[in-house]
Amino acid sequence: MKIDIIGDIHGCLPEFKALTQECGYEWKDGLPVHPDNRLLGFVGDLTDRGPSSLKVADIVWRLVMEQKRAFYTPGNHCNKLYRYFMGNKVQETHGLETTVAEYKSLPKKEQQTIRNKFIDLYEKSPLHVVLDENRLVIAHAGIKEEFIGKTNSKMKTFVLYGDITGEKHPDGSPVRRDWAKKYRGKAIIVYGHTPVKEPRIINNTYNIDTGAVFGGKLTALRYPEMEIVSVASTMPYIGEKFKDFT
């Protein structure tokens, strides 16, 4: 299989368009199409903070659910938006407020349509995607080898939030263990969640969240070529949002 896996988009639609075009896709009827019928993959966090969250969600719904030309697995921001759409009480913070503002600005009928599409996409997508006879795994915050193919709550917490310890840094952000450093599996793990200035490639794991919404880059990993393609972000640069693993 040939698939181009895209990092956390967070509503950055121009960057998503530019990146797919850089990868040889043409946009037809509002969707990216590759002349060699390559597939697309999404590591989750489609929405929040960026300017066009709902448009990105709509495009991914069409690609995954309607056209079956893409794979998607949810991120923590997707999980929170899902809970919001289901009527749960969630804090409209950490970027959800921008998606909710987009949502509230729509006419009622369009609100209903995008809400139903997103719920559909979320409920029908696995918490990690296993492809190419277990050679390739897509998971939002990564995954430990022992959780691949499992469906339990430990796996869910891990793929949505990473290898969290339950402790917090002085700034309130969660302490996360560096699971990728200890990964010894054969499967290639493609993930996002933690913005890095350059894709972090270690032990068969690829963090391709290069912080598009924080003014970094939007990045794709092309499989099986294992080629990295990035486009610059149009968003203002916020350096402190990027994690430095060195």
Binding site for Mn ion (CB under 5 A): 8, 45
User: Judged by CB, which is closer to Mn ion: 24, or 215?
Assistant: 215
Task: Give the 3-state secondary structure of the chain.
Answer: CCEEEECCCCCCHHHHHHHHHHCCCEEECCEEECCCCCEEEECCCCCCCCCCHHHHHHHHHHHHHHCCCEEECCCHHHHHHHHHHCCCCCCCCCCHHHHHHHHHCCCHHHHHHHHHHHHHHHHHCCCCEEECCCCEEECCCCCCHHHCCCCCHHHHHHHHHCCEEEEECCCCCEEECCHHHHCCCCCEEEECCCCCCCCEEECCEEECCCCHHHCCEEEEEEECCCEEEEEECCCCCCHHHCCCCC
User: Judged by CB, which is closer to Mn ion: 3, or 43?
Assistant: 43
User: Judged by CB, which is closer to Mn ion: 34, or 156?
Assistant: 156
User: Judged by CB, which is closer to Mn ion: 20, or 194?
Assistant: 194
Distance in Å, CB of 103 to Mn ion, minimum? 19
Distance in Å, CB of 227 to Mn ion, minimum? 23
Distance in Å, CB of 72 to Mn ion, minimum? 14
How far the first Cα of the chain sits from its last, in Å, is 34
User: Judged by CB, which is closer to Mn ion: 100, or 141?
Assistant: 141
Distance in Å, CB of 219 to Mn ion, minimum? 12
| Closest chain position to Mn ion (CB) | 45
User: Judged by CB, which is closer to Mn ion: 38, or 98?
Assistant: 98
Distance in Å, CB of 76 to Mn ion, minimum? 7
Distance in Å, CB of 95 to Mn ion, minimum? 9
